[in-house]
Amino acid sequence: METHWTLTLELKGDFRMSTATIRPYTTSKLFMYTSIVWLLIGMVVALLVAVKSVNPDFLAINRWWQEYFTYGRLRPIHTNTVLFGWLTPAFFAMWFYIVPVLTKAPLYSERLGVFTVWAWNVVYAIGMVMLFLGRQVPVEYSEMPLVIDIPIILITGLMVYNLARTIMNRKERILYVTLWYFLGTMVWLPMIYIVGNIPGAYLSGIGQASIAYTWVHNIIGMWFTPAGVGTIYFLMPKLSGKPIYSHKLSLIGFWTIGAFYIWNGPHHLVNGPIPLWLMKAGIIPSVLLIIPVWTVLANVIGTMKGAWHKISENIELKFMMTGTLFYFLACIQGPFQALMGPNAILHFTYWTVGHAHLPLFAGFSLVAFAGYYYALPRIIGRQIYSRSLMNWHYWFSVVGFLIFGFAMWLAGILQGFGWMDGNQVGAAFVKVLESLHMYLIARAIGGTFMFLGQIAFAWNIYKTATAGKQAEAEEPMPVLQ
């Protein structure tokens, strides 16, 4: 593996100074490596959750195991690990790789970048221990205690500062659309994290629920969506060999995401204890999301025209296009289930479990996988160790998700109609639960396939870093000044 640290000499005035410098893109590389570790941890916990859904007595070995390996502790650990241990750092890695490439300038401070990598991981590891010990805020996706939230906000601020200074020092004056999306995330991510995590810890009742679901929806809508779409717009021309179809169309998508997505939180409380006008305020922008979705779809179709055959030849492109397709499907599901009629059947059922995994795993995680397979060889100068393992990663992930997703969607429909028929209490309620048992088994089987895919992914990345064939970097690297 290449040496990461080099020694340079600089002459400043009458003094010769020795300074240790860090190779370009080290921050991006470290975020990739550490996020894969969290991905595996998150998938292991996910399997435990899936098995406990089938057999609640699983791991009930003694009193200690019963207390610490309950569903109520494992589920928040799983969701937080995949959201903030895996997928968020995955797009941080894309931030720190793509921004220097598009600005044609080195990262403002690679040292600061490396510090934020380790700070994020240390703080997050402490947060995981606290969740395991039961120190949780009882708000979905906001379970981290305040003592963890504050450092996370500060670390995110340091990353935003580092990247903003890089963009200010850019040598390429034109801001490609990916930079627009990334700049948006640099504003929106700290904003929604502060709003979603700090007030919610002190409020209760409807106020807490409204803020909580504004956060739950916008961590996808104002962070993962623009970060993922920005990554798609970077990778698609690179992998297809064709320029983006319409830069103006992509900017329309950017501004409509900013205008409509942030108001979608109340649609999680449709038919719930909130005013009717607030429900409508969540439903209408949910339907209007079809505008930014169609801009992405039109740009993808326009860019790929005449190049569709490359999907079968380029595994990175296959990951990216499949993730884009699942993102599109998620954005069709979302407005549909936000309508009051479908929501009355599907809300609070297993349907939402399948829907949540659709954009986060099948959509943006596949896009992140494509980004890793594209960027890492160019950072470390080594070819991907095994194309066969890449294919196994793809098929295990996609087939596993399809089994998982359809099991949850079918279970949710049966569950919802069962409750609509009045089977909500007593023996009738138990009968509905028993009828869903086979779907929960299918969920565990699908999750196992997804986990096997990530094992192939992690091993392939490890072998690439340690035993991959040397290759010239195809991406011109900014030199340290």
Kindly report, residue by residue over 383-407, the tens digit of the pLDDT: 999 999 999 999 999 999 999 999 9
pLDDT of amino acid 15: 29
Given pLDDT bands bounded at 50, 70 and 90, which one contains residue 4?
very low
Per-residue pLDDT tens digits for 405-443:
999 999 999 999 998 888 777 888 888 888 999 999 999
Helix, strand, coil fractions of the chain, as percent rounded to 5: 75, 5, 20
CA distances from 43 to 189, 386, 421, 449 (A): 24, 22, 36, 11
Answer yes or no: is 416 within a domain.
yes
Answer yes or no: is 175 within a domain.
no
The burial of 398, by beta-carbon neighbours within 10 Å (0-12 exposed, 13-18 middle, 19 or more buried), is given as: buried
Average pLDDT over residues 109-120: 96
Q: What is the count of structural domains for the chain?
A: 1
Give the residue among 377, 376, 226 at the shortest CA–CA distance from 295: 226
Answer yes or no: is 391 within a domain.
yes
Quick check: helix, strand or coil at residue 20? Answer: strand
Give the pTM. Answer: 0.92
Given pLDDT bands bounded at 50, 70 and 90, which one contains residue 337?
confident
Q: Tell whether the model's pLDDT for residue 19 goes beyond 50.
A: no
φ, ψ for residue 470, nearest 5 deg? -65, 140
Answer yes or no: is 423 within a domain.
yes
Task: Give the Cβ contact number of residue 277 at 10 Å.
Answer: 8
The burial of 469, by beta-carbon neighbours within 10 Å (0-12 exposed, 13-18 middle, 19 or more buried), is given as: exposed
Answer yes or no: is 18 within a domain.
no
Instruction: Output the average pLDDT for the chain.
Output: 89
Q: Tell whether the model's pLDDT for residue 60 goes beyond 90.
A: no
Answer yes or no: is 176 within a domain.
no
Average pLDDT over residues 96-109: 95
Answer yes or no: is 410 within a domain.
yes
Q: Report residue 125 as tokens.
A: 């590891």
pLDDT of amino acid 472: 63
Which residue range is the domain that position 420 belongs to? 381-472
Q: Which residues contact 310 (CB under 8 A, 6 or more apart)?
A: 239, 240, 241, 317
pLDDT of amino acid 473: 55
Per-residue pLDDT tens digits for 344-363:
899 889 999 999 999 999 99
Per-residue pLDDT tens digits for 222-263:
999 999 999 999 999 999 999 999 989 999 999 999 898 888
Q: Which residues contact 138 (CB under 8 A, 6 or more apart)?
A: none
User: Which residues face 8 on adjacent strands?
Assistant: 19
Specify the DSSP element, H or E, that contains 7.
Answer: strand 5-12
Q: Which residues contact 170 (CB under 8 A, 6 or more apart)?
A: 102, 103, 104, 105
Given pLDDT bands bounded at 50, 70 and 90, which one contains residue 13?
very low
Per-residue pLDDT tens digits for 272-331:
888 888 888 888 888 888 899 999 999 999 999 999 999 998 999 999 999 999 999 999
